[in-house]
Structure 1
Amino acid sequence: MLGTIVSEKDDTKQWEVDIWFESTPEPWGGPKKELPKSEYVEKGGPVDTSNWRYYNMDETRATLSGLGFYDGKELNLYQRPENGKYAFQVGVGANGKNTNFGMSGWLGATGSFTLSNADINVDLTLDPNHPSNSQPVPEPMTMGLFSLSLLGLSVTSLKRKSKELV
């Protein structure tokens, strides 16, 4: 996942995101359901967690690099919880904030700052300028294409619980 986090309150506070993921089976904790129950298919909603895919963060290739106010700061990220209960989840409603195609997961960070609990909740869209996305993709995006290249995705919004970094 490549992108830039920009503070809504101070646009000089920015982080460049560079996180790689590896596919994994559904974690033993199951899907992390954060939307109202009415949004899930069991209650007549559009979100079907059986279509979600799961990914573990490659902690050797997971960083936030400071820009602007945070220039020169570097954070190395690790997946939470460390016991493997949850993985990053991807799919319709998987960001836990809306029913868009998205992603969410928990993480921590070491480096210029230390964070023991943070999260990523994003909407994902195809980057029309990326070479792997030159062909039209029907909605919802096929999971096979997503699995081939996270690099072809553009993060449209990044939100986090920890406001300390932005």
Structure 2
Amino acid sequence: MAIAASGQAAEAASVVNRWEANTAYKDQFGIGNSHAFALPDLGAGRFVFQDNGVLEEYDDGTARLTGTVVSNQDSNKFWEVDVWFDAASNKVKAKKELKDGAYDSVSEGGGGLDEDNLGWWYYGVDESRSFLTGGGYYEDIVLNIKDGKGYDRGAEVQLGYGASGKNVGMGMAAWIGYDAIHGEEAGVFIANSMRADINVDLIAVPEPASLVGLGLVGLGLYARRKSQGTEDT
């Protein structure tokens, strides 16, 4: 089942930030498991990027995440990602999921994040054009991505250093749900779910001018910590 790509907004708007999107790997301050998409009701483990995904932000206040995510248990279970984000509500509250040490100074062994000045920014989910299109085992099945657990905070999506909840690096987290459009394999999973997350690491391509100074420090710190930590894949 094909879903027509919604490229009109991208054609009408200009890209202001382009990010390489990778699976968010947990450092010593992170919680839960490392993944790009968590879709627990599918019973297929965690989904990670097959190659690097792409997040683009546009000058009309929208953003788009694309790429391919594959089950870490079965390479024949994968989804083509095309998820759009729009402006968040004015009533936004950050969801800080990292362990407390992430907000301690580096000299004290912490992650160096400023808990009172995180500098995060936010989006909502554009349900009208957000889909995961199945491949392999999921061929002819499409998931329509919906607002999820973040709705009561005024935003489903947050970006910034530490925002992924998996590490202190630059990243994104989203709390989503989905409704399934079934193909011939209608019985392979629950038709809808509000239990789904997106957690990705972001690397600017090229580095936005506003993040050059902070990025060099933050990404350098994260790289050192990641090399010392254990990746839960």
With structure 2 as the length reference, what TM-score do the two structures score?
0.51
What displacement does 1:140 show? 4.1
Q: In the alignment, which residue of structure 2 is the partner of 1:16? A: 80
Q: In the alignment, which residue of structure 1 is the partner of 2:129? A: 61
Q: In the alignment, which residue of structure 2 is the partner of 1:164? A: none
Q: In the alignment, which residue of structure 2 is the partner of 1:107? A: 176
Amino acid at match of 2:113: V
**Aligned with 2:98 (options 7, 11, 35):** 35
Choose 1 or 2 for highest CA Rg.
2
Structure 1, unaligned runs of 5 or more:
128-132, 143-166
Q: How does 1:63-142 map to 2 (within 5 A)?
A: 63-81=131-149, 83-87=151-155, 88-111=157-180, 112=182, 113-126=191-204, 133=206, 137=208, 140=211
Is the 2:88–2:154 Cα contact (8 Å) retained in structure 1?
no
Query: Is the strand fraction higher in 1 or 2?
Result: 1
Identity, in percent, stands at 38
Task: Tell me how far apart the structure 2 counterparts of residues 89 and 46 of structure 1 sit (CA, whole Å).
Answer: 19
Q: How many positions carry a matched residue from both structures? A: 132
Give me the CA root mean square deviation: 2.4
Is the 2:78–2:134 Cα contact (8 Å) retained in structure 1?
yes
Structure 2, unaligned runs of 5 or more:
1-64, 106-110, 183-190, 214-233
Residues 1:26 and 1:124: Cα distance change in structure 2 (over 3 Å) = farther
Amino acid at match of 1:102: G
Residues 1:12 and 1:25: Cα distance change in structure 2 (over 3 Å) = same
Amino acid at match of 2:149: P
SS in structure 1 at match of 2:74: coil
Task: Tell me how far apart the structure 2 counterparts of residues 141 and 56 of structure 1 sit (CA, whole Å).
Answer: 26
What displacement does 1:31 show? 0.8
Amino acid at match of 2:129: R
Task: Tell me how far apart the structure 2 counterparts of residues 8 and 54 of structure 1 sit (CA, whole Å).
Answer: 29
SS in structure 2 at match of 1:31: coil
Residues 1:139 and 1:10: Cα distance change in structure 2 (over 3 Å) = farther
With structure 1 as the length reference, what TM-score do the two structures score?
0.69
Q: Deviations over 1:72-118 (max 9, x none)?
A: 11010111237442521001110000112110011110013311211
